[in-house]
Amino acid sequence: MSTLKQTSLSSPQDEGRYDYIIVGAGAAGCVMANRLGEDPDLRILVIEAGGSDVSLFVSMPAALSIPMNTKRFNWGMKTEPEPGLDGRQVNLPRGKGLGGSSSINGMCWVRGNPMDYELWEALGADGWRWSNVLPYFQRLENVEGGGSLRGVNGPMHIKRGPETNPLYRAFVKAGNEAGYALSDNMNNRQHEGFGPMEMNVCDGRRMSAARAYLRPAIARGNVRVIKGGLVDRVMFDGRRATGVLFSVAGKPARAMATREVILSAGAIMSPVILKRSGVGPARELAQQGIAVIHDSPEVGENLMDHMELYLQMECTQPVSLFPTQSLLGKARIGIEWLATRRGPGATNHFESGGHIRSRAGIVYPDIQFHFLPLAISYDGQTLAAGHGFQVHVGTKRSKSRGWVRLRDARPESLPRVRFNYMTHSDDWTEFRACVRLTREIFAQPAFAPYRGRELAPGAAVQDDAAIDAFLKQKLESAYHPCGTCRMGSDEAAVTFPDGRVRGVEALRVVDASLMPAATAGDLQAPTLMLAERLSDLIRGRHLPEAQGAELLADPQWATRQRGPNITRDYSSERNRLAAALLENAKGQQLPMVAG
């Protein structure tokens, strides 16, 4: 057992015995509570460090920037100084409260590209190929309007935005005019191209994981949730996890698990709890006075993220969302939403987007666009002086890797986090492409009626040096950390492909920290899928493999960067495809040990 000093936990309150203890009520933890709780004979405890998610600002889709910037709903993390960004610290919002980050995120619903999951399997996550995960996306979805590969009976409600603003369609048309494919729905057959985006919104309100999964689970009566429970560590009897030590309002407590402890605290905090529990790099644990139960060097390493920047344009017609940003405009939106759950308050305003490849030789998209008919920062803190529009653009498979390290052994201390953003040369190549390819799209005829001057980066920013200087100042996290408890079949992997932690028993990780590679899109949908599938694997079952699970790509991907037809199905050539995907992934930077 760990030799952590337990002065505050010397006489813990006994909170009882449960079949499963789930640490964290974020996206994955809510799924696990719901699915495991389908067995009425099981008792399940969920321990969440935050509080209630009940808030108009959480519920109202258009108000997403407010909970993201409040201490009640956000842990308020920042990275360590990032060497690739001239030592700049980057904001790292992490959800705090029921629903976790699903209660403060942008509600963008993107499954990712089917080839993401072929890459997972090629990297050693056996069983995670597209045909195996597709049934779980279908199980969790309740998609308005359905679709050939979509679910319509699941707990997570998904819809398209109304797209009443003409700028949304102008963006999609401009992408097509630039030579890219159109996609009628990036979550159905074809991910690559330009088209409408979806959001997890139902009846005008955010459909968080707490709303979709946790509340129905609690209503059954066999799932208990402790809010404000700050977990110190997992307890072990030898190498078997037996329970959890935590505190509530400073008062020590413990709970015991007869079957498993499941860490669903997210890509930042799950590895931290593992380390405090004695599972992690032996050297780091020894420095903090923690006895090593299992030396696992990769715990907290392999940290990945998506970065993005905004390219902003002046809009010459008064059609943008700029008038909604005044006090009077916001009041009108709020009153309409409170009365009807409709109008501009009922959408996240990311209603069109796209996925493209940065250069020839890339098998499937590594750049994502979120279009917004307004020129404003993602956190809502900086607004342009007049009508404008922008695209959030970023790369999806950065080769840079970072880490999560203990600041000290106290559970109340936030960890040290460094992504090592932009420390691989390919990152610079790909982000320069983001800038230049976006400018090309904005220059298409579809934007001629609306296009004014470029607000950011600005017309003077043209050569590589000027673009790089802009990137160093303006690149921000898209808030998609993952990979710190990588699952795989190799001995170095922290977890097995079913989430079990190597070297110990009755301890599992279920959240985005398992991902061996980031997906080509926002991480919310893949995280829910991952938890859905693992909830079945825990119960010794699996949905049948999907039939007709195509793997579509540009037939000329090896020689061209764009094309109007994404028609080649590689599902019958999986070995050849896996080799190409691994070749694209070559050169990912190993985590930096120093620091």
pLDDT digits (tens, 9 = 90+) for 212-222: 999 999 999 99
Cβ 370 vs Cβ 522: under 8 Å: no
CA 505 to chain centre: 28
Instruction: Say how far apart CA 227 and CA 99 lie, in whole Å.
Output: 12
pLDDT of residue 595: 38
Please give the tally of structural domains in the chain. 1
Q: Could you tell me which residues come within 8 angstroms of residue 475 by beta carbon, excluding any fewer than 6 positions away?
A: 85, 90, 307, 308, 309, 421, 422, 431
Burial class (CB in 10 A: 0-12, 13-18, 19+), 216: middle
Instruction: Say how far apart CA 364 and CA 351 lie, in whole Å.
Output: 22
pLDDT of residue 594: 36
pLDDT of residue 384: 81
Q: Going by DSSP bridges, is the β-strand pair 205-206/201-202 parallel, antiparallel, or unpaired?
A: antiparallel
Burial class (CB in 10 A: 0-12, 13-18, 19+), 464: exposed
Instruction: Say how far apart CA 79 and CA 417 lie, in whole Å.
Output: 5
Q: How far is CA 209 from CA 40, 189, 212, 215, 589, in A?
A: 21, 25, 5, 9, 33
pLDDT of residue 380: 62
Give the mean model confidence (pLDDT) for residues 527-543: 98
Say if residue 590's pLDDT is above 70.
Answer: no
Cβ 106 vs Cβ 542: under 8 Å: no
Three-state DSSP class for residue 249: coil
Residue 592 lies in a domain: no
Q: Check residue 536 and report its DSSP letter.
A: H
Give the mean model confidence (pLDDT) for residues 127-142: 98
Residue 464 lies in a domain: yes
Helix (H) or strand (E) holding 392: strand 388-395
Say if residue 5's pLDDT is above 60.
Answer: no
What would the pLDDT profile of 181-190 be if each residue is shown by its tens digit? 999 999 999 9
Instruction: Say how far apart CA 274 and CA 24 lie, in whole Å.
Output: 13
Task: Provide the domain limits for residue 320.
Answer: 11-541+552-585
Residue 134 lies in a domain: yes
Give the mean model confidence (pLDDT) for residues 340-349: 96
pLDDT of residue 540: 97
Say if residue 322's pLDDT is above 50.
Answer: yes
Q: Count other Cβ atoms within 10 Å, centred on residue 74.
A: 21
At 281, the amino acid letter reads P
Average pLDDT taken over every residue of the chain:
95
Q: How far is CA 316 from CA 41, 284, 439, 594, in A?
A: 63, 56, 17, 50
Cβ 365 vs Cβ 396: under 8 Å: yes
Residue 6 lies in a domain: no
In the chain, the percentage of residues whose pLDDT exceeds 70 is 96
| Confidence class for position 378, pLDDT limits 50, 70, 90 | low
Range with lowest mean pLDDT among 4-8, 200-204, 243-247, 516-520: 4-8
Instruction: Say how far apart CA 111 and CA 186 lie, in whole Å.
Output: 8
Residues with a catalytic annotation lie at 480
What tokens were used for 200? 């997890």
The structure's pTM equals: 0.95
pLDDT of residue 548: 86
Residue 3 lies in a domain: no
| Confidence class for position 559, pLDDT limits 50, 70, 90 | very high
pLDDT of residue 11: 85
Q: In the block, which residue shows the tokens 């057992």?
A: 1
Helix (H) or strand (E) holding 109: strand 108-109
CATH of the domain at 467: 3.50.50.60
Q: In the block, which residue shows the tokens 């006489």?
A: 11
Give the mean model confidence (pLDDT) for residues 230-234: 98
Beta strand extents in 114-267 (DSSP E only)? 141-143, 156-160, 193-196, 198-199, 201-202, 205-206, 223-227, 229-237, 240-248, 251-263
HSE-up (13 A, CA, CB side) for residue 220: 20
Say if residue 262's pLDDT is above 50.
Answer: yes
Instruction: Say how far apart CA 340 and CA 337 lie, in whole Å.
Output: 5
Q: In the block, which residue shows the tokens 């015991």?
A: 256
Residue 181 lies in a domain: yes
Burial class (CB in 10 A: 0-12, 13-18, 19+), 211: buried
Three-state DSSP class for residue 403: strand
Instruction: Say how far apart CA 214 and CA 275 lie, in whole Å.
Output: 27
Beta strand extents in 240-316 (DSSP E only)? 240-248, 251-263, 279-280, 294-295, 307-315
Handedness of CA 266, 268, 271, 275 (dihedral sign): negative
Residue 286 lies in a domain: yes
Residue 1 lies in a domain: no
Three-state DSSP class for residue 330: helix
| Confidence class for position 589, pLDDT limits 50, 70, 90 | low
What tokens were used for 433? 């492409």
pLDDT of residue 473: 96
